[in-house]
Amino acid sequence: MSEEFNALKTYIEEHTHDMVELESLLTSNPALAPENGGDGESKKCAALEEYLKKNGITRIEHFDAPDSRVSSGVRPNMVATIPGNKDDYNIWVCAHLDVVPVGELSLWNTDPWKVTEKDGKIYGRGVEDNQQGLVSGVLAALSFVKQHILPEHTIKLLFMADEEVGSTYGMNYLLKEHKDLFKKEDLILIPDGGDSKGETIEVSEKNIAWFKFHTIGKQCHGSRPDLGKNAKLAASDLALRVNDMENFFNKEDTLFDPPYSTFQPTMQLQNVQGINMIPGDDIFCADCRINPCYTLDEVRTELAKRVKAVEEKYGVKIEVSEAQAEQSLPTPVDAPVVKALAEAIKEVHGIDAKTIGIGGGTVAAGLRNLGFNAVVWSTMDELAHQPNEYAIIENIGIDAMTIAYMASN
């Protein structure tokens, strides 16, 4: 390790616990989307901006998205820049400000909106998802700023809105309205997923398709099915045919776990209100995660055939809509950001990193689809959205060192 990096490492080790203060500040400002009954992220973002400026990170820009549903009128997207020795590329740490609701409060052992520290962990809603990655980036930046060390490459910290409910006012807004924010040469790190060792670098996501199926038949009495068209029966048949698409799109990809595409019927809406009524209307949904070797158009074509077969068999009409559909390109395993992060993990964590894919969705997908190589990585126990969510304090420091290593080389 260089003398400069040793100085950064020492600073981070000595100030890791200070980040509990920042975690506490962030958690005490619940940032819930309007869809989740909240007022957005503005108060949390303002508290964070004040903290950054107070601690010497003063070059801050806003790229806020208008949203009349929240009291501030905007959903904040904030970028803090720590200028580096070179501007050939930037090192981005992209974290989201919003959190998910508490869920069933009785399942929590602590107040979810007040950080509680115990046995090297901090508990509270958002402390891991995504505040751990957020504060790791801040700590890495402070290790340069506080010691007046010039990063080899410019560091940019992005604090996004709206990740938990689709990123319409966050990353997707930035990629649409501020296309020049990123450069193709940039190293983009999204600390919003990972594993307990910090050894997996996520470079690919399965294609996502959320389908909604509205089956329209004819309601009748339960004793006279001959007078109606059972929408529930037809929908049940269709649900099995949707699930059977796993056997049709059956190529496996060992980058993912599970390695196969999944087509899973999920949410069911209420149809009739009586047991003795044959429903003439039925709505169910399916969550489909498709390996990248298949296109969504291929899926749509095969699905249309199965829908038509059910319509003809039961004499019903089926309307198909898409709640979400995203085709995702991968980051090449030999991309500069993958190599740089793997080197940093080896140096700081002392382990060999491995590349993986995931079935879930992150903001990396939108970046990758526009040709920006992004990776998802962090050292975490993956407590996202669970009661008693926690972050391990030590992980904040070791991930900050990893980011600092990337910026100092």
The dihedral through the CA atoms of 43, 44, 45, 50 has a sign that is positive
3 catalytic residue (yes or no): no
Task: Report the alpha-carbon distance of residue 341 to residue 399 in Å, rounded.
Answer: 11
Please, is 109 exposed, middle or buried when counting C-beta atoms within 10 Å of its C-beta (0-12, 13-18, 19+)? exposed
Nearest Cα neighbor of 171 from 364, 382, 404, 399 is 364
DSSP string, 94-155: EEE--------GGG-SS-TTS-EEETTEEESTTTTTTHHHHHHHHHHHHHHHTTTPPPSEEE
Task: Report the alpha-carbon distance of residue 341 to residue 188 in Å, rounded.
Answer: 10
163 catalytic residue (yes or no): yes
Task: Report the alpha-carbon distance of residue 355 to residue 94 in Å, rounded.
Answer: 19
Beta-strand runs (E) in 44-83: 60-62, 65-66, 74-75, 78-82
* Catalytic member of 41, 64, 67, 163: 163
SS3 327: coil
Could you tell me the two tokens for 396?
């904040």
Nearest Cα neighbor of 206 from 257, 266, 164, 170 is 257
Residue 263 backbone phi and psi in degrees, to 5:
-130, 95
* Catalytic member of 98, 129, 162, 389: 98
β-strands 187-190, 374-376 pairing: parallel
Q: Which residues are catalytically annotated?
A: 98, 163
